[in-house]
Amino acid sequence: ETGVTQTPRHLVMGMTNKKSLKCEQHLGHNAMYWYKQSAKKPLELMFVYNFKEQTENNSVPSRFSPECPNSSHLFLHLHTLQPEDSALYLCASRGEGPYGYTFGSGTRLTVV
């Protein structure tokens, strides 16, 4: 365990479904992130939250909707996804200073 917990680990959903990914950290970090990692593509930043406020939306389609109710929890709400959205979705957190990111184990999403 890294200190960042993601659930579920695996998710299969149809294109008309609505689902949510959850991320939780109790490291006292103030910044939380969603990243997407597709097969054979580099990691891509999706959303950034600092002190619960969204500070960056990296041109992500509106079918992905983030929510950060407090500094320990981060959600990614999914609706009407496409098969090309199938990927590993990673949550990360970071504290103050030039320290590294702590990643969760990811949610492997398959859209059918």
Partner 1 sequence: DAKTTQPTSMDCAEGRAANLPCNHSTISGNEYVYWYRQIHSQGPQYIIHGLKNNETNEMASLIITEDRKSSTLILPHATLRDTAVYYCIVRFDNAGNMLTFGGGTRLMVKP
Contact residues toward partner 1 (CB under 8 A) are 2, 4, 6, 31, 33, 42-45, 48, 55-56, 58, 88, 90, 92, 98-106, 108
Shortest separation between residue 63's beta carbon and partner 1, angstroms: 21
Shortest separation between residue 22's beta carbon and partner 1, angstroms: 15
All residues at 6 or more sequence positions from 28 whose CB lies less than 8 Å from its CB, including other chains: 95
Shortest separation between residue 41's beta carbon and partner 1, angstroms: 10
Q: Which is nearer to partner 1, 7 or 18 (CB)?
A: 7
Q: Which is nearer to partner 1, 16 or 59 (CB)?
A: 59
Q: Which is nearer to partner 1, 38 or 82 (CB)?
A: 38
